[in-house]
Protein backbone atom coordinates (compact mmCIF):
# COMPACT_ATOMS: atom_id res chain seq x y z
CA UNK A 1 0.00 0.00 0.00
CA UNK A 2 1.35 3.42 -0.99
CA UNK A 3 0.78 6.47 1.22
CA UNK A 4 1.19 10.20 0.86
CA UNK A 5 0.56 12.79 3.56
CA UNK A 6 -0.02 16.54 3.55
CA UNK A 7 -0.13 18.84 6.56
CA UNK A 8 -1.66 22.15 7.59
CA UNK A 9 -2.76 23.82 10.82
CA UNK A 10 -5.57 25.94 12.21
CA UNK A 11 -6.40 27.79 15.42
CA UNK A 12 -9.74 27.79 17.20
CA UNK A 13 -11.41 28.72 20.45
CA UNK A 14 -14.01 26.40 21.94
CA UNK A 15 -15.36 24.93 25.17
CA UNK A 16 -16.84 21.58 26.12
CA UNK A 17 -19.96 20.53 28.00
CA UNK A 18 -19.67 17.81 30.62
CA UNK A 19 -17.80 17.31 33.87
CA UNK A 20 -15.45 14.82 32.20
CA UNK A 21 -13.78 17.78 30.46
CA UNK A 22 -12.75 19.49 33.70
CA UNK A 23 -11.16 22.90 33.04
CA UNK A 24 -11.74 22.51 29.28
CA UNK A 25 -15.40 23.33 30.01
CA UNK A 26 -14.24 26.95 29.97
CA UNK A 27 -13.48 28.75 26.73
CA UNK A 28 -9.92 27.93 25.62
CA UNK A 29 -7.81 28.01 22.50
CA UNK A 30 -6.29 25.19 20.49
CA UNK A 31 -3.79 25.13 17.65
CA UNK A 32 -4.27 21.94 15.67
CA UNK A 33 -1.81 20.41 13.25
CA UNK A 34 -3.68 18.23 10.78
CA UNK A 35 -2.15 15.43 8.71
CA UNK A 36 -4.14 13.79 5.93
CA UNK A 37 -2.76 10.45 4.79
CA UNK A 38 -3.98 9.18 1.41
CA UNK A 39 -3.58 5.50 0.48
CA UNK A 40 -3.85 3.33 -2.60
CA UNK A 41 -2.47 -0.10 -3.55
CA UNK A 42 -0.96 1.08 -6.86
CA UNK A 43 0.45 4.37 -8.09
CA UNK A 44 -1.52 6.31 -10.68
CA UNK A 45 -0.40 6.76 -14.30
CA UNK A 46 1.93 9.59 -13.20
CA UNK A 47 3.59 7.49 -10.50
CA UNK A 48 1.73 9.30 -7.70
CA UNK A 49 -0.56 8.46 -4.81
CA UNK A 50 -2.15 11.89 -5.26
CA UNK A 51 -0.92 15.28 -6.49
CA UNK A 52 0.69 16.97 -3.46
CA UNK A 53 -0.13 20.48 -4.65
CA UNK A 54 -3.81 19.72 -5.19
CA UNK A 55 -4.02 17.86 -1.88
CA UNK A 56 -2.43 20.77 0.01
CA UNK A 57 -4.81 23.28 -1.61
CA UNK A 58 -7.84 21.14 -0.78
CA UNK A 59 -6.75 20.72 2.84
CA UNK A 60 -6.10 24.46 3.18
CA UNK A 61 -9.62 25.18 1.91
CA UNK A 62 -11.12 22.69 4.38
CA UNK A 63 -9.33 23.96 7.49
CA UNK A 64 -9.58 27.65 6.56
CA UNK A 65 -13.28 27.63 7.48
CA UNK A 66 -12.31 26.84 11.12
CA UNK A 67 -9.26 29.08 11.43
CA UNK A 68 -9.53 31.87 14.03
CA UNK A 69 -13.12 30.94 14.83
CA UNK A 70 -14.83 30.42 18.15
CA UNK A 71 -16.48 27.09 17.37
CA UNK A 72 -19.01 27.68 20.16
CA UNK A 73 -20.46 30.48 18.02
CA UNK A 74 -20.79 28.40 14.84
CA UNK A 75 -24.33 27.17 14.14
CA UNK A 76 -23.07 23.87 12.71
CA UNK A 77 -21.61 23.00 16.13
CA UNK A 78 -24.62 23.92 18.28
CA UNK A 79 -24.98 21.33 21.06
CA UNK A 80 -21.87 19.44 19.84
CA UNK A 81 -18.62 19.00 21.74
CA UNK A 82 -15.99 19.85 19.14
CA UNK A 83 -13.53 17.23 20.36
CA UNK A 84 -10.37 16.38 18.50
CA UNK A 85 -11.91 13.09 17.37
CA UNK A 86 -15.10 14.76 16.12
CA UNK A 87 -13.15 17.37 14.17
CA UNK A 88 -10.92 14.69 12.62
CA UNK A 89 -14.02 12.89 11.28
CA UNK A 90 -15.47 16.16 9.97
CA UNK A 91 -12.23 17.00 8.14
CA UNK A 92 -12.19 13.45 6.73
CA UNK A 93 -15.71 13.89 5.33
CA UNK A 94 -14.89 17.26 3.78
CA UNK A 95 -11.67 15.95 2.23
CA UNK A 96 -13.58 12.95 0.84
CA UNK A 97 -16.02 15.43 -0.74
CA UNK A 98 -13.05 17.24 -2.32
CA UNK A 99 -11.77 13.95 -3.74
CA UNK A 100 -15.14 13.03 -5.20
CA UNK A 101 -15.68 16.51 -6.66
CA UNK A 102 -12.43 16.23 -8.63
CA UNK A 103 -10.49 18.85 -6.63
CA UNK A 104 -7.55 16.45 -6.24
CA UNK A 105 -7.57 15.39 -9.89
CA UNK A 106 -9.42 12.64 -11.74
CA UNK A 107 -6.99 9.91 -10.69
CA UNK A 108 -7.63 10.65 -7.00
CA UNK A 109 -10.89 8.74 -7.42
CA UNK A 110 -8.72 5.61 -7.25
CA UNK A 111 -7.63 6.35 -3.67
CA UNK A 112 -8.82 3.50 -1.46
CA UNK A 113 -8.52 4.93 2.05
CA UNK A 114 -7.64 8.04 3.97
CA UNK A 115 -6.69 8.94 7.52
CA UNK A 116 -7.00 12.32 9.19
CA UNK A 117 -4.73 12.75 12.20
CA UNK A 118 -5.42 15.85 14.26
CA UNK A 119 -2.59 16.76 16.62
CA UNK A 120 -3.76 18.97 19.47
CA UNK A 121 -0.34 19.09 21.11
CA UNK A 122 3.05 17.41 20.97
CA UNK A 123 1.72 14.67 23.28
CA UNK A 124 -1.90 14.16 22.20
CA UNK A 125 -3.73 13.51 18.94
CA UNK A 126 -6.92 11.94 17.62
CA UNK A 127 -7.70 10.49 14.23
CA UNK A 128 -10.35 9.14 11.92
CA UNK A 129 -9.57 6.58 9.24
CA UNK A 130 -11.77 4.79 6.74
CA UNK A 131 -12.01 3.36 3.27
CA UNK A 132 -13.13 5.87 0.66
CA UNK A 133 -16.50 5.02 -0.80
CA UNK A 134 -17.54 6.02 -4.28
CA UNK A 135 -20.49 8.45 -4.31
pLDDT digits (tens, 9 = 90+) for 123-132: 999 999 999 9
| pLDDT for 36 | 98
Q: Is 135 helix (H, G, I), strand (E, B) or coil?
A: coil
CATH at residue 109: 3.30.479.10
| pLDDT for 12 | 97
What total number of domains does the chain contain?
1
| pLDDT for 134 | 74
Give the pLDDT confidence of 10-41 residue by residue, as tens digits: 999 999 999 999 999 999 999 999 999 999 99
Cα-based distances in Å from 69 to 40, 66, 75, 86, 87? 34, 6, 12, 16, 14
Cα–chain center distance at 69: 16
Expressed as residue numbers, the domain containing 108 is 2-131
pLDDT at 87 over 90: yes
| pLDDT for 133 | 83
Amino acid sequence: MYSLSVRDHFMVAHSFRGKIFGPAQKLHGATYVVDVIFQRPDLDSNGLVVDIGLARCALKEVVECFNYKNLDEEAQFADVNTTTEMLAALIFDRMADKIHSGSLGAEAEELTSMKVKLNESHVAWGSFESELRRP
